[in-house]
Amino acid sequence: MTRLSPSAKSIALHVGVVLLLLALNVLLPEYHRGVLARVLVLAVFAMGYNLAFGYTGLLSLGHAMFFAAGLYGAGLTVYHLEWSVWPAFATGLVAGTALALVVGFLALRTTGVAFMIVTLMFAQVFYLTTLYFTTYTRGEEGLVLPQAARVLAFPGGVLNLSDPSTRYLVALALFALVLAVTLFLARAPFGRSLVAIRENEERMRMLGYDVFANKLASVVLSGLVCAAAGAAYAVLFGYVGSGFAAIQYSILPLLWVLVGGAATTLGPLIGTLFMFYVIDTASSYTTAHLLVVGLVLIGVILFFPKGIAGTVRERWLPWLP
Amino acid sequence: MTAASGMAALRMEGVDSFYGHVQVLRGFDLELKSGEVLCLLGRNGAGKTTALKTIMGLVPATAGRILLGDADLTKLPPHEVPKAGVAYVPQGRRLFSELTVAENIEVGLMTRGKGAATREAVLDLFPVLRERLKQRSGTLSGGEQQMLAMARALCLEPQVLLLDEPTEGLMPSMIARIRETVAGLRERGVSTILVEQRVDAVLPVADRVAFIENGRNRETVPVERLRADPDMVHRYVGVG
């Protein structure tokens, strides 16, 4: 029997995961398909966070602002300017990327705890800004995008993003694209240099690397991916609200990545899916569901100290990217 | 033993440097000749490691000049110094332990090396690494880690190599291997500054020895003089 190379195994696994998710579109009942579509978009958010935190070692407490920049960039242009989905989505990407460039440029002058605090403060400023301009954003109450505007036009036709199956497939397409980019990055020299920076910045400087420029590139790329998730959330689920800019949405991707496995390609999906269903299941049995979630998290960390995918890689599958 | 040409590969002229408010180097002068192995000896805290870090720009020089040939390194940002041709292997190796041996070398190659040719030349110097290319570097033995740290630095194809206590904690066979490598690099024209605590590890490979005391280079002597006058080591380092 021919043994697959680590690289072939890894590609086969990722293709398999995407095909399985594709099959679930027809296999899952309506409710779970809706949940999974949401999970896929939020997993993209987690994958963006993973680029900065998992691969580069930048523990940000402000990534909600990049997600929300994409969300508002797309949502406000659809709602107020009546733009179609494509330019609105592009606006979300530009907003998140530009914000990541500015915040990264300023915040990366600090490290460690100071970096956490600076990113948290920037995110709070963004959150308060969305509350301040309630005339346009309607604050916590948010905006519901009209169904008629949530239509994706192609040269050959249109896709109605309100349709559950279409929404699922578009979410899956975005997830698959970002998964492929992450997999490529993890194996590319740039990805390795980010891991090396995470391990020892000074050593990288001594090998001739401009560490600041590399970290900034990582934050910008991370911001772009998070903004893509935010913009997709706006047009797929038709809701834009300040809650997505709040600190909770900066902590959640950290939690998803830690549970799934930092610096792994599939960890963000595993962590997001796991946390979603733990909360969903626990809350259907008890109002004290956060207590159950806490206990489950303690169990996960005890048995999977490097996150689920991270521990699987360490113990059983060293080829797992 | 020596392949030194007499031309200066690297010079430090009247360099001062500080850790916070504490001055470590005081008017520090040093000349590394082209193709020589120069060893820095001195007590703990004398300023040996600081001298290397100051060359690399990790500790800023507040006065004086550091010249690589004719190029002034003094005001370069730290990440530009390796590109100019100086490679540094710090004490304690500091590998990227999550990356494999091959990936560590690849990271070293990306900024200055010449790709496959450099990689092969480096692996020829350390054949044991060739057998461990897919192994995570954190799982290598101490000696192998030191070799990988040197290999990664040599990927920069440096004119000057700075080694901070490369034999620390290694068994005698590994020490001999490191020494052979330093001697081999000298034959290829690489000039080396070697910081060591152990005089016996230095004598077989060094061309000259600089005695560092209180942040100053007190005296630089050919290694033959050291052999003829062992008390010299006792005077500066406190051990015979």
Residues 6+ apart with CB under 8 A from A119: A60, A61, A62, A63, A103, A107, A250
pLDDT tens readout for residues A33-82: 999 999 999 999 999 999 999 999 999 999 999 999 999 999 999 999 99
Residue A225 has pLDDT above 70, yes or no: yes
Residue B239 has pLDDT above 60, yes or no: no
Task: Compute the mean pLDDT over every residue in chain A, rounded to the nearest whole number.
Answer: 94
pLDDT at residue B177, as a whole number: 83
What integer is the mean pLDDT of A135-147? Answer: 91
pLDDT at residue A261, as a whole number: 95
CB distance B107–A207 less than 8 Å? yes
- Nearest C-alpha in B relative to A314: B98
The CA distance from B83 to the nearest CA of chain A, in Å, is 6
Give me A189's structure tokens.
């020299």
Q: Please provide the DSSP assignment of A223-271 as one string.
A: HHHHHHHHHHHHHHH-EE-GGGGSTHHHHHHHHHHHHH-TT-SSHHHHH
Of B79, B98, B106, the CB nearest to A205: B79
Q: Please provide the DSSP assignment of B76-94 as one string.
A: S-TTHHHHHTEEEE-TT--
Q: Which CATH architecture has domain B8-85+158-237?
A: 3-Layer(aba) Sandwich (3.40)
CB distance A208–B97 less than 8 Å? no
pLDDT at residue B5, as a whole number: 57
The CA distance from B166 to the nearest CA of chain A, in Å, is 16
pLDDT at residue A2, as a whole number: 64
Among A211-225, B73-87, B101-115, B148-162, the minimum mean pLDDT is found in B101-115
Chain A residues touching B106 at Cβ < 8 A: 189, 192
Of B58, B79, B96, the CB nearest to A199: B96
- Nearest C-alpha in B relative to A204: B79
Most confident of A55-64, A130-139, B176-185: A55-64
Of B79, B88, B96, the CB nearest to A196: B96
**How far is it, in rounded angstroms, from Cα A72 to Cα B32?**
60
Chain B contact for A26, CB < 8 A? no
Of A193, A196, A207, the CB nearest to B82: A207
pLDDT at residue B240, as a whole number: 47
Q: Please provide the DSSP assignment of B148-187 as one string.
A: HHHHHHHTT--SEEEEESTTTT--HHHHHHHHHHHHHHHH
- How many CB pairs (< 8 A) connect A and B? 62
The CA distance from A240 to the nearest CA of chain B, in Å, is 40
The pair phi, psi for residue A210, each rounded to 5°, is: -85, 95
Chain B residues touching A195 at Cβ < 8 A: 96, 98-99
The CA distance from A128 to the nearest CA of chain B, in Å, is 38
**How far is it, in rounded angstroms, from Cα A58 to Cα A49?**
9
CB distance A207–B96 less than 8 Å? no
Q: Are A261 and A255 in contact (CB under 8 A)?
A: no
Q: Please provide the DSSP assignment of A23-43 as one string.
A: HHHHHS-HHHHHHHHHHHHHH
Share of chain A above pLDDT 90, in %: 78
- Nearest C-alpha in A relative to B149: A203
Rounded to a whole number of angstroms, the CA Rg of chain B reads 17
pLDDT at residue A105, as a whole number: 97
The CA distance from A199 to the nearest CA of chain B, in Å, is 6
Share of chain A above pLDDT 70, in %: 99
List residues of chain B with CB under 8 Å from any CB of chain A: 56, 58, 78-83, 87-88, 90, 94, 96-99, 103-104, 106-108, 110-112, 152-153, 155-156
A81 vs B168, residue with greater confidence = A81
What integer is the mean pLDDT of A111-119? Answer: 95
pLDDT tens readout for residues A235-280: 999 999 999 999 999 999 999 999 999 999 999 999 999 999 999 8
**How far is it, in rounded angstroms, from Cα B90 to Cα B149?**
9
Of A199, A209, A263, the CB nearest to B79: A209
Cα atoms found within 13 Å of the Cα of residue B84, Cβ hemisphere only: 24
Angle at A75 between CA A249 and CA A232, to 5 degrees: 65
Chain B residues touching A211 at Cβ < 8 A: 79
Give me B90's structure tokens.
């710090």
pTM: 0.85
The CA distance from A210 to the nearest CA of chain B, in Å, is 6
Q: Are B96 and A195 in contact (CB under 8 A)?
A: yes
Of A199, A202, A211, the CB nearest to B98: A199
pLDDT at residue A87, as a whole number: 96
ipTM field: 0.76
- Nearest C-alpha in A relative to B110: A189
Residue B113 has pLDDT above 80, yes or no: no
Angle at A286 between CA A283 and CA A287, to 5 degrees: 80
Of B87, B110, B153, the CB nearest to A193: B110
What integer is the mean pLDDT of A197-202? Answer: 90
What integer is the mean pLDDT of A193-211? Answer: 90
Angle between helices A211-237 and A64-80 (to 10 degrees): 40
Of A192, A203, A208, the CB nearest to B111: A208
Give me A56's structure tokens.
């580069």
Chain B contact for A210, CB < 8 A? yes
| Count of other CB atoms within 10 angstroms of residue A195 | 19
**How far is it, in rounded angstroms, from Cα B143 to Cα A98?**
47
| Count of other CB atoms within 10 angstroms of residue B75 | 11
CB distance B79–A202 less than 8 Å? no
CB distance A202–B99 less than 8 Å? no
Mutate to test the interface with B, among A190, A203, A215 (most CBs of B within 10 A): A203
What integer is the mean pLDDT of B213-217? Answer: 92
Write down the domain spans for chain B. Answer: 8-85+158-237, 96-155
Of B58, B94, B111, the CB nearest to A200: B94
Q: Using DSSP, state whether A151 is helix, strand or coil.
A: strand
pLDDT at residue A301, as a whole number: 87
Mutate to test the interface with A, among B76, B96, B159 (most CBs of A within 10 A): B96
pLDDT at residue B4, as a whole number: 53
Chain B contact for A317, CB < 8 A? no
